[in-house]
Structure 1
């Protein structure tokens, strides 16, 4: 019986078969007498040169297939499912086809209230989107025979976060992942970046533990406040009832709010304002600049394409072995 070497994500031993159905015992004579199992775990009798040739060809094809990583994408808030204009296409379009096949765009709502691909006023919440996204991501991982790489942008990065945190707690052991990468992660931990310079951490805080055996590559524009928010930024507490990221995506950050802050028409609530007036003035001035970059400067979207962030991630992933 012929067996393959051990490869990640597959049984330790499995037969290499050309997929033919077995004939009845004794129905064939001479070198054509072979019983060939179909599917994993059934035997392969290779007592003929024809069967051996079939097995060798199948083995080569199968091994080539198993060396390919399927890339799954988790898009950002409001991006249409599978659209070639989505930000993560700037990564997938550059991946080496000898190493990667581009799998499905994970089908989850990508919604924070009315900020959703369909423009519905009753769109699901940020947390509902994340919960649905994790379940959809797990289903996609389990449905592919290959190891997978996972890409997440913005809200999609929160989906990747929660999945990795669950993996670290021992959940979903059957979901084997080659690597994960996030862009503009609202839960980026301080210091996590493919670049040498990083600022602050995610506007929603910092993620919990991730599995130590899964490489994770974080892409963070230092002036994108969604993933690079200073620790003492007032933007973290600007909204009380929803996350700071959700507040921004829902339009809570507006040109009028920026103008009010810059003209000192915003009423801070810090109890130590009068003890450290310069520090607070600087913090709010910086907050206004960050909001402006998010709204009009492309810091949370276009900059990742135009300033080389996606290109640097592509180079890292194409070198991944």
Structure 2
């Protein structure tokens, strides 16, 4: 019984790490929902969690088995797959001239970023703002309706638009229970869909809600334009974009250091890899020799 208890106590840190990872994974969808640009970083976070957990597992093995190889592998995983990719990401985003990137790779990554921006922010929010401003300006009776006077599946036939009030359930992820919110779907008179306005805030009347939505759309447009400017200036890099090219940075010309600081980090990275391989070889040879001596 004491042996089982000791083993359970030994793996307690690993179980705590796994539970923390599960908690983070279930909370991330809510972060993404509340901050649309957060979607870009979920994969970064998940990949980092995997590598940190892997490094932690090797440290755990080192503490249990007292084998220096496990400690070396843990250090290698953490620095090679987490620290140095972050360094290269910082260098690229601070000044793209720090590192030279092959044109095929650059154009491919930029194309993917343009698609991602379009996915997150949509084509354009200008048209949506015009529709909402038109409603505020020309539909006085409609925009003065209060929350209490609007029922589910109620249809409003206006001068230039058709508005249908409905409810939809939003799952915010994690421990947050699904919640119904009032939603206004706005159509042209011919039935073509224009936009939806979610009433996820308490509003005095529809005018108050539409003004808030216009402010949100303006903010989205500003962030969208900022993201496009970053792509155009080649400052769009994230951890997950850089990682595949930094893993084999020494045997390819995908990333070539150009500035002083880039060359310095590149040199340190080289020394780190060389030292790791040399230490691994020496440690492995030492283990073989020790085992042979013990056998005799």
TM-score range, shorter chain: under 0.3
* Greater per-residue helix proportion: 2
- The TM-score, its normalising length taken from structure 1, stands at 0.21
| TM-score normalised by length of structure 2 | 0.22
Structure number with larger C-alpha Rg: 2
